[in-house]
Each structure stands twice: as structure tokens, then as C-alpha cells.
Structure 1
Amino acid sequence: MDIIKTIIVDDEARIRRGIERLVRSCGEEWEIVGMFADGKEAYEAMMQENQSFDLLITDVRMPEMDGLTLVKELKKTHSFSSLIVSGFDDFQYLQTALREGAMNYILKPIDREKFREQIEEVKERIIKQRSEQKEVQEKELQLTYTKQVQLLSEVTWNHDTDVSLLNWTREFPKGTYRLIYVSTDQKLSKTKSEEWEAWRAAIEKLITELFGREWQDDHRRYWWWRGTKLSFWLLLLDEEQVVSSTETKQTLQQLKQSIQRLTPFTVSVAFGNEFEDVSFLPSIRNQLLSLLQFRMIQGGNQIFQLDSMQDVTDEAPRGISAAIYKSTHQILHALEQKPDEETEKALQLFFHEIQSLSLPAALQEAVHYLCIRIINRWMEHQGFKEDPHVFTEALQLTQHAGDFAQLKDGVKHWMLRMKNKMLIHHDSNPMQQAKEFIQDHLGENITIKRIADHVYMNPTYFCESFKKQTGETVLDYVIRNRLEKAKKLLKMTDLKVYDISAEVGYQDTKYFSRLFKDWIGQSPSQYREHYVNRE
């Protein structure tokens, strides 16, 4: 039933109560949300309470504020229909107002049947307007969703997005987000394209049905889009932080099982920690892509959480000999307390032990075990969250090595880089280093990864630390400094706008001009003209 909220305004209490009884007699859908003796009283109450309503029934003549003025003032902030109650001596005055505002009216003394007819007409119009408004809103929401999905897709496809090109992330709702990556475990090289499309459509339907049911209400929203081949991304929004990591995992478990039941595939799922700034997406994407590579070690058909790398214990896994386990511990000890020569000596002992392994899989497992232990030690040492890139590099060591000599060289260089990360002086200021790096590279493509790599920090942790220590996001800092430089160039040079745009890192001049106007309040040309006129 469509409830129609109604306000009654009349300076005569008897008429006010009579209108109330008439309205209530028209059906249960009519709800009286306010009764007032004067237009001013009604106006102030509606503005203070910010209350919405559907119909205003008001007398014309009242002492403080007349009915027509009340309608006019409330129309500035509220959307509603109005029914004017008028005496015969007001009629000519009322006719003029009706031509301007097209309001319904009824003459005093009020005829019950005519009143009910008017009320029914108003009701039909309100319901029709609601339906039309709802349709428009749904179209707007769908258009917004489609645009947002396109932008999200570009972020996951493009691994070198300049940080200031993520300005659109401000348009996303406030709340707690979580990014999820779903990927099939099987390869599709011999699969017919029509079968591939059918399976992809089936998985997409499962995602839409499950999350449409489990994750679509007043406080939760989701976006999904395609990755490469049979992989998919999900972005979940929990505005009130009521959904736990365990509940999210349970929903993903349902999805994984449904895909396995309805398609020939198993899937692995990676999901990260919660975050509030959508501009963190590029670094979190990298984390999940790297996290999913754990299936190379632990097998597929699993759900991997971002803290999985910290679950490796001090116990040697099956397949790792006591000698390899011992040499790994010697390397870990040397990394923090010994010079490079001692570290390399311990590493040579490790190479000696694994060189005798007869199976490539055993060799790969030993190298991965060493790398994971080093990464875990680095995390403990620094107190930082996991860096996905070092793990990716570690996995690639065995994949890209052409022979044992290349493998040794790759492991050695990777390990020494990790040692440098551990030995960064604690009294250094990585945020100041990051600022200086940004200032020195304003005209280049600046990504979160580039800045974070420069200060040896995990991208997501770097973004959080930067905002905590400086009071602004990396995105804001980059944009602000680029535009400050642009303002100086507009003031002090006669360079063309497109030259200045490129000078401060924007190859798209239209985007630069739009961004400049959003931040400065004027277009670059207007800003230059204003500055010249002041001179």
C-alpha cells in the first residue's frame, strides 16, 4: 500500500479537525504527519525537522503566512502536491495563483463528495509521479553503476595508472570496502569459444544472483566486472561495517561451490583487508594477484585471505629436508646480523643442499620456502603489512631461470634486495622522501607503486601512513602540487595551456582543464586572464 503523508494548515481549529476527519475517511493510505494553525508555523516545522511529505492541504488566508506563500517557499526545498482551501471572496485572487502554479483547490464550505473526488485525483497523480520518479532514479542508478564498473575495470586492467587520474574515486559512497578476485584454476587453451562463453555467462549469473541476494540492501552494495579469461573482480561496500571477514568468506565459499557444481571448473578466490579509500585499488589489486599465486604452492580450489603469507610456521613443510631447513634458518639469521659476505656464505650452503634434489618440483618448493620465510621475517622486522611484489618476484625466480646458475643468481640478488629493505634506518622519514620524489617527478606518470617502491613500503600501507602523517591523501597531494606548479606557469610564462598540462603530467588537456576548474574554481585560461588583469 502506498502511504501518502499529508499536512493540514488552517487557522480555524474546527475546519482543521474537519479536514483531518475527511482525509482519514478516504482510506488507510492517508497518513496525517502534521497539523498547523498558520503557514509560518508549518514552514518552520518542516524546515527544522526536514520532514518529507506528499500533500499539503492549506487555507489561503492566514495571519502570519498565507497558504500560497507557504506553497511557494516549501517548493524551494520539498517536492509535494498541494490542495488549496479557499473562500468565495478569495476566488479571483486564487485563480491568478492557479495559473502560475497549477494547484488543486476546493471552495469553502467544503463539500464532502467533491473533497473526496479531489483527494482521489491527487492520490492518482502522486502515485503516478512516484512511479515515474522511481523509473528515472533506477535508470540514473544503472547509468552510474555502468560508469563506475567501467572505471573499476580500467584500474584492474591498467597497471600504470597515474595517481591523479583516480580523481573519480571520490564519487564513490563513503564506507568500508573489500576487493575480491575470483579465478578458475583450469586452463582453457583447448576449449571451444562457444563453450567458454556459456561457462562465463553461467559464472556471471551466479555472481549476480548470490550477491544480489546477500549483498544488496540499504547499507551494502557491490560491483563486479570481468578480469582476464575466466576471472572476475568484486568490490563490496559495507557502509555500517556490520559484516565480518568470516561472513564474507562464507559467502565466497557458497560462490565457489556453486561454480564447481554448475561448471567443469574449480576456482580460487583471493580477498583482501578492508579499506575506505577507493583510490587504494591499484595496490590492493596487486596484492590479490600475488596472493592468488599461493595456489602454485598450496593448490587451487581454495580461498586465500591477505594474511595467508603470515600463516607459514617455523616448522619445515613436508618435502623440505632437515639440511635445507637448517640452512634456511642460517640465512635468516645472517640477513639481520651479518655482513653481506656472511649472508652469501649461508646462501651457498643452501644452494649446495638443493643442487642434489632430483625433481624440479622439490627444487621449486625449497626456493619458495626460503623466500616465504624471508618475506615473513621482513614483515616482522618492519611491522609493515605484506608487500605483494616481492612475493611475485620470488615465485618468478624458478619460473624464469634457464638453468641452476641463473636460479642461484636470481635468488641471490632478490635476497640482497630484501636485506636492504630490512636495514633501512629507522630514523629516516619515508613520507618526506615520498614528497620529494613526487616533487621531482610531477611531469611524469606517478603511480602509487612507484612512490611506495621508492621508500621501500607496501603501497596500501604507504597510502594509509601518508594520510595519517600528512593529513591528506597521496591523490590530493599529487593533484595539489601539480596544480600549484600549473598556476605558477600560467602566471610567469606564456606557455600554451596544453604545454602546461603536459609539463605537470597530464597528457589529456581537457582532463587537466576540468580538474583545474574543479580545484581552483576557474579554467586555466580564466585564471591566467584574471591574474594578468590584476597586474
Structure 2
Amino acid sequence: MESIKTIIVDDESRIRRALERQVLSCGDEWEVVGSFSDGLEAYEAINQVKLKFDLLITDVRMPEMDGLTLVKKLNESYDYFPMIVSGYDEFSYLQTAMREGSVDYILKPVDRTQFRIQLSEVKEKIIVKRDKEQKWEEVQEKAVLLQKTQQTQLLSEVTWSAEIDQPQIDWNRHFPSGLYRLIYIGIDQFIPGSRRMEINDWEICNQTIQEVISKLNREQLEGQGVHAWWWRAGKFNYWLLLYTEHENNIVSEAMIHQFINDVKIEIHRLTPITVSIGVGIQLHDLSEIQKVRDELRILIQRRIVTGGNHVFYMNKQSDRTKEELEKGLHFTTFKNVQQIISTMENVEDGETIRALQMLFRELEMAESPYMIENAIHLLAIRIIDHWMDFDGFTEESKLLSEALQITRYAGNFQQLKDGVKNWVLKVKKGIAKLKERDSSPISQAKEWINQNLGEAITIKQIADHVFMSPTYFSNLFKAQTGETVLDYVTKCRLKKAKELLEMSDLKVYDISKMLGYQDTKYFSKLFKQWQGKSPSQYRMVHGKYNSE
């Protein structure tokens, strides 16, 4: 166990040494961390180095500061057990000592046997106190972890969906006041040497990226008062939200710049890929997060011109790209692009073509070629991101470059429309093929559930497996299957229980445990509701071993 740190205060050196020897003779767990000749000397020394101690053994009458005054002053700042040693058997001393929390009042000369007994009792109290403190720390850690998980989930939903009603979110209730900065990390998806990477290789790269972010966050930010939330956006992008409560952030500006560049460099050093990073402006109000999210997604498109492996910074005053985009792209452009994305998984092409026509009608009224080019680039990036969610990275790697060339080589607006429509429908067919080749997210989720029936399954675990937010996954699962996720988990478990009752001689208790039910009575109740018979009754009728 951790040593019991003891401080001894007595103005008689002979008694101090005797007390020290007696304390140390009680076992290796005892440690004397300080020995002082009066209360003032002890008080100043303890405060100077913030000395940690568990037990204070002090005389009452001493020069400069008496023992009872020392105990009272230390009680204001320290949590410890005081023990009073005195040559005076006076009730007033005893009364004051008890009032200040003394665990014992010992008269001189100190009886060694009795002293050892008293120290043993103090030891037990210290062990109980430490156990309570440890449990409280664990509760606090779990509470902090839960809070951060809930915060990250909210951020994930807000950055993922345009449907979240931001005015309804009380950001002050979920997050502390201070300075925030949103950061977008996007894998440069089409780079030489990475085009033929298999899906498993990409997952290894993603794992490495997560480890890089976590490691550099611990090493560079946490110790400097900067906190971070980070989460995945699809399979190949990440969001980070950095926070500091300090208004004077000159140091943190340089620190954040160093952190971002180190993330970029480390990812390129440890993997065969590169990333581009968009860094948002400082936010005092998180209600602006969706606006910054959209601007960062546009800002990172600069890599179309500069190439990947770059860091791009938003700037309120002088960011030319941001000013141009604000002039060139209207809200309706984003809405029309999102409408096109929402039709990409439809079987028929009619809705996709109609959505494209709405975008084209807007672009026909564009004030400059720049707006047209930017809108098409935005559409291409969003569609490619959607494509990547179906593991399309391993096929048709020239799709993006094809889309970016449409505006360069179109001789007129009609050619532009034809080129964009043909490209969008081509990608749509590719997505359909990928969906046929790979199981849908719901099928993947069902397979995972059936492989983990014995575990304490949560919706978040399943959603993480298919790279979705829990809320979106739950709604999608219900829409496609007609039942809730938890109802499906229960149904799978009961079906498996039925098989085990029929084909094995396992006890009902063991089957219940195997299928994740710790309460056998609850399992039996569920089974009877489903089959009309208890597990034992069902086995009597259908069990292989019983029928034989």
C-alpha cells in the first residue's frame, strides 16, 4: 500500500526522536516526512512545499505556535488526521482537540504498546478514507468521461447533419465558456501510390491517424490548458474542436499552429497518405459552429488548386477564398447540392436529374464563371465524399479529376450541363454496384449483432461499427426493417436460445449467460412472452435430448 506519511511536532528533541522511532517500528508502510520543533516551523514548512501528509502527531504546549493552533490552521487547507500528545491532562485541551478533529489525545509519557494500538486504529481510518477518495475519483472520472462522450455525440450530430435545429441547443449548458476553434482534417483521397489500397489497409491508416491525433493532443495540448474533442466524419475525414478558457491566447495560437502542422507531418510520416487541414476562426459562441463547418468544407477545396498536404486558415478580414465564396455561392447552391446527394441512392435517375436541373437553373443566372466552377467543384467534392462512404476508394480513382475538368473544357453552358449530368449518373451507377458488392450498413449491423449476442450490446457500439451516429443509425434501422434496434437484438437472442434449447443440453442458466442476460428470471420471462412457454417447458417438448 501507499505509505502513511506522518509529521511529528514537539519542542523536545528527545521525545521527537522517540516518537519517530515508534512510528517507524509499526511497519514499512509508515513514513515520517517531517519532524519539527514548534508549530510555526511546521506550518511554514508544510505550506512552503505543499507537503502531503496523512497524520500529524503534535505536542500541545510549544513556543511560537502551540499544537492546537497548528491543527486549527492546517484544517483550513489540508485533509489529514491530527493526534495530540501532551503532558497535561486538562479537559479544556481535550475538548479543543476533539473539536478540531483529533483522532486521539495521548498523555506523556507515551506507552509504547498503547501507542502502537492507537496507530493501528489510525491506519485503518486512513485506509477507509483513501478507499472512499479513490471511489469518489473513479465516479468523477466516469462522470467526466460520460460528459465528454455526450458532448462529442452532440458535436458529431451537429457537424454531420444540417437538420439539427441549432437555436434549440443550449450550448452554455453542454460546454464551458471560453475560446473555441473548429478544425477539419480531410484525407487527400486521390494521390499517387494510394489508389489501389485495400479496405483493410485503409482501416489501418485510419487507426494510425486516430493514434496520432490522440498522442499529439496529450503531449502538446492537455498540459497547456487546451482541451480537445475529436470525432470521425464518415470514413476519411475528422473534426476537432479545441477549447481554452483563456482570453489571452497569443501562446495558444502558436501552440495550435504547431499541433496542426505536427498532425499533418506525422500522418504523412507514418502512413502512405497525406491530409489537408482547414482551421477555423476563433469562436466565443458555439452557435456559429455550423456556419464554420460549411466554410471549412469549402476552404479545404483549395487543395484542388494547391494540391494536398496543406493547412488552410480561415481569416475574418483577408481570406480571399472565403470572400469569393461568399460572393459566388448562395445558400440555395448548398441546398440544391444536398438535394442531389440525397437522390444518389435512388434506383431511378428521374429525381437525380430533376435535382440537377434545379442547380443548373440557378447557375444559368450566375454572375461569373467563378461561381459556376465553384458550384460544380462543391458538387463533385460532396458526391465523392458520399462515394467514399461505400468503400469506393479502391475503384475509379479518376472520378474526381474528371469532374474538375468539366468546367475547364466545356465550350458552352449546355456542354457543361451534359458533362455534369453524365458524370453524376456515372457515379450513381458506381454506388449502386458498390451496394450490390458490399452489404448495406444495416446488413453489416445485423451480422455484427449476431456475432456478439453474448456481449452487453449498445446502440452506440453498433452505430460505430457502421460509421454512423447512434441517432441516425436508429432511425435508418427502423425505417428499413420496421423494428427498433433493441427489439432486433432481443429477437436474435431468443432465436439463438431456441436453437440451444433444441440442440444442446446446456442449462437454462448457462444459455441465459451466453446470450448476455445476467438475470435468468428476466430471460425466462422474455422467452415465455415470445414462445408462450418457459425455456424449460419448451425444451421438454422440442429438446433433442429429451425427445430421445
Give the TM-score normalised by structure 1.
0.46
Query: Of the two structures, which has the highest relative contact order with CA contacts closer than 8 Å and spacing of 6 or more?
Result: 1
